[in-house]
Amino acid sequence: MSASPPGRSRLRRVMLLEVALLLGVSLGRSAIYSVLSIIERTTRAVPLDQQTSSLNQAATPDRPWLSALYQLVDVLLLPVPALLALLLLATAWPPRGGVLAATGLDLRRVRSDLLWGLGIFVGIGVPGLALYLGSRALGLNTTVQAAGLGEHWWVVPLLVASAAGNAVLEEVVMVGYLFVRGAQARVSPRLVLVSSAVVRGSYHLYQGFGGFVGNLVMGLLLGCFFRRTGRLWPLVVAHFLLDVASFVGYAALAGRVSWL
């Protein structure tokens, strides 16, 4: 027997509540704090372009081994909300064909996924850097210090691992999970696309308005790609490469080039 209309309505509400709660303990929570951060930054006496946003900083500069442990814990905890999202999809109203197929995380098209990921990285990376430099020059963005862990043998491996964790977290939650669950809850695909992109942009607001706009546009492009192809791996690969270029590139070039 098919579910009655009241039953479908209740199921839809439960699905949407699940989405809200998952976002509330992960990237939605980050978005709220980021909004507060930009309010605090724009109400300072110091202009936004003279402020700094720091990522991957040493927790205990005087004890590098402890900083390494802090960074390692961060890396290990990053993908936990993404794993929770996949678990929810797999156990509560699983999609037809299974979670991996529905999210495009199966391994049927490894070569194609890698090539698409590389192409997206190139297509987004160069304009993204130009947007960052332009928005900073216009006074709309902070200076982003993408790495400040010092010069130790473990820095690059942990930065690469952090890039992987961020890629999995953001793309699985903001695209794979939201788009699949949104379709199951019969939410307009356009509303899911725009909502996902707005949240993505919002949790980058701590960097400034350039960070918001850049990630909003990125979210729209990645969401459109997923809607068209149903493949999540290319987005994970592209995001991973973008973060590796940002984290490791900054660690290698900071202090050596004037525009960082």
Summarize pLDDT for 101-112 with one digit per residue, the tens.
999 999 999 999
CA angle 133/136/142 to nearest 5° reads: 120
> Has residue 5 got a pLDDT over 80?
no
Single pTM value for the model: 0.94
What are the extents of the domains in the chain? 5-253
Q: Which of 81-85, 117-121, 156-160, 251-255 shows the lowest per-residue confidence on average (mean pLDDT)?
A: 251-255
CA angle 34/70/44 to nearest 5° reads: 30
Predicted local distance difference test score (pLDDT) of residue 2: 45
Q: Which of 6-20, 38-52, 62-76, 190-204 shows the lowest per-residue confidence on average (mean pLDDT)?
A: 6-20
Predicted local distance difference test score (pLDDT) of residue 260: 57
Query: What is the distance between the alpha carbons of residues 49 and 54, in angstroms, rounded to a whole number?
Result: 14
Query: What is the distance between the alpha carbons of residues 248 and 146, in angstroms, rounded to a whole number?
Result: 8
Q: What is the pLDDT of residues 145-169, one digit of tens each?
A: 999 898 899 999 999 999 999 999 9
Average pLDDT rounded to a whole number, residues 78-96 = 95
Q: To which residue do tokens 């987005």 refer? A: 235
Predicted local distance difference test score (pLDDT) of residue 252: 81
- Which of 22, 54, 57 is closest to 37 using CA atoms? 54
DSSP 64-85: HHHHHHHHHHHHHHTTHHHHHH
